[in-house]
Chain A
């Protein structure tokens, strides 16, 4: 077993602006270097291949989340008390409190309402014909569904997207982007504390569940605001990313769009393929609490590993022709929603929303045409379009 001190070193910065806009050459270079690569800029061991990413996500005893999953110590300290940043019984308790509202079974009650909203969104977009795929299609549904579900007060919604994006930025390295958006991340934290103090959540919502659990002594009052953010922040950008990437991929692969229109039952698999190919979340970290062997190297206790979901999902060792978009591919094992104990708790909701939009589009739109150059949003962790000019050609 080699010592991880001998791991290959990568000196370029995958979190630079250009690395954010086009991360895939970084991932390919990392995968080529080896299963464990030392990132000298961030001082962590990157795991760019599928096997090691999955092994670490599965082994939540040796690779813990409780000391944070961010790439910087400050955020790791600030995010204590969240589900994302906890282990074992603490994590189980926090996750159970809210995940039961997000299971596919619990979401069944919402599915008709989501379908109806998706229909309205798509109808309006098709009527306009020339749209921004991000603002006019991808954002509309999550913004109409998630804040109500979490119970976020009406008067605190105008900043939600900015705040939620900033919360993701804060999980990246302490770079210029982190500094630029940290005031917004702090604003979300402050607002959330005020929501808890004033009990301004909507009755019957998930946020309401959290406050009641605290009333019953099932959870410390001090954890409430962190939990609100836990479920609100990750539910917007991620789904917006998946829907807009789907639009772009289908616009640039008309044969795949035709295949989906011919057989709408492919929609579930198609969405998984989108999330594999353009994973909304780039990477999170874990901390090794023992000396652990990984990819033929010994990772020393106390070091941090970076699980690069987006790279694992394009690993040529795991996927045939990994850069190709194929909605019929056997894709369910992708890591785009993470995996294991900390696997995305909202994936049922994300699937419900994204599939509803794609089904409505497939029924009404013959072709999706790219009408301009798309631009990427700048974010350390979230990979999504900022603008996506499209023409929706009605069927």
Chain B
């Protein structure tokens, strides 16, 4: 599964960083970074990735499932 951030929509509310801290974090500039931007999310992190996409309050995360 791939998860992508729509940076036009992302406002940095950060709920994904709580749901999937190994995937999403804020860099020093406060921009959201995605550890798997260019790779498939490992199998064991898929549930967390799904939850992150589900809780994003502005629906800025897309998974390709």
Contacts and interface: CB of A to CB of B under 8 A. Distances in A.
Contacts of A332: 15, 18-19, 55
Interface in A91-113: 92, 99, 102-105, 108
Interface in B24-65: 26, 30, 51, 54-55, 57-59
A300 interface: no
Interface string A222-255: 0000000000000000000000000000000000
Nearest to A335: B57
A57 B30 CA distance: 27
Contacts of B30: 104-105, 108
B59 A92 contact: no
Given A105-B30, A108-B30, A332-B19, A343 B58 contact: yes
A333 interface: yes
B23 to A, nearest CB: 15
A105 B31 CA distance: 8
A343 B57 contact: yes
Contacts of A333: 51, 54-55
Contact of B57 (A92, A102, A347): A347
A16 interface: no
B12 A103 contact: yes
A105 B26 CA distance: 10
Nearest to B57: A343
Given A105-B30, A332-B18, A344 B8 contact: no
A10 interface: no
Interface in A307-356: 332-333, 337-341, 343-345, 347-348
A58 B59 contact: yes
Contacts of A103: 11-13
Contacts of A58: 59
A341 B30 CA distance: 21
Range, interface on chain B: 10 to 19
Nearest to B8: A92
Nearest to A58: B59
Contacts of A108: 30
Nearest to A92: B8
Given A332-B55, A340-B58, A340-B59, A345 B11 contact: yes
A239 B18 CA distance: 23
B11 A348 contact: yes
A104 B14 contact: yes
Nearest to A107: B12
A104 B57 contact: no
Given A92-B8, A105-B30, A341 B59 contact: yes
A341 B36 CA distance: 24
Contact of A341 (B9, B18, B54): B9
Contacts of A343: 57-59
Given A332-B18, A332-B19, A99 B11 contact: yes
Contacts of B12: 103-105, 348
7 contacts: A104-B13, A104-B14, A105-B12, A332-B55, A333-B51, A339-B58, A340-B59
Interface of B: 8-9, 11-15, 18-19, 26, 30, 51, 54-55, 57-59
- Report the 4 A-B pairs with minimum CB-CB distance, sorted nearest first: A105-B30, A340-B59, A332-B55, A343-B57
